[in-house]
Amino acid sequence: MRAEPLCVCPGVEPFLHADGTLYFLPVPGRDQLQVDAPFGGWLHELAVVGATPDVPSDQLEAFVEVVEYLRDEGYLRAQTRIHSEDTSSHDRQVRWFGQEGVDGPAAQRRLAASTVLVLGVGGLGGSVAELLARSGVGRLVLLDH
């Protein structure tokens, strides 16, 4: 039914009601969205559980349209493989990147591969260097006189 696995985007909180209605609960910067049954249950199975839902053939086209709409609006995204080194010490930052519409693990890997030069490591430069190190910058070059 689909070419790639989908998942709920970071910053989106799904809630499946007992009647099969799926709610994407409001989080900062987003409105609440409701997907009625049976589509809500199928979406939950697809994007939260990670299984392929058993959608009847007469409703498959409409279901695909709903999935595409949610993907275009930033509620769903392609599932990416996340390695433990991408998230272990920077989990909150990776999730924040995802909430901002950026591929969190890729952004963290880019930070880890980057080099930053800090000129002067006094009061301000020392604090900047510490924050860069804590954010996951891979290599710091500190120059002070």
CA–CA separation, 15 vs 40, rounded Å? 10
pTM of the model: 0.52
Which string of b and e fits 34-43 if b means at least 16 CB within 10 Å? Answer: ebeeebbbbb
Question: What gap in Å lies between CA 95 and CA 5, rounded to an integer?
Answer: 19
Q: Phi-psi region for residue 101, left (φ > 0), alpha (ψ -120 to 50) or beta?
A: left
Query: Residue 44 and residue 24: Cα distance in Å, rounded?
Result: 10
Written as tens digits, the pLDDT of the chain (145 aa) is: 444 667 776 667 788 888 888 887 766 666 778 888 898 888 888 887 878 889 999 999 998 898 888 888 877 877 665 555 555 677 778 777 877 777 778 888 899 899 999 999 999 999 999 999 999 999 999 999 8
Give the model's pLDDT for residue 11. Answer: 66
Write down the domain spans for the chain. Answer: 6-78, 91-143
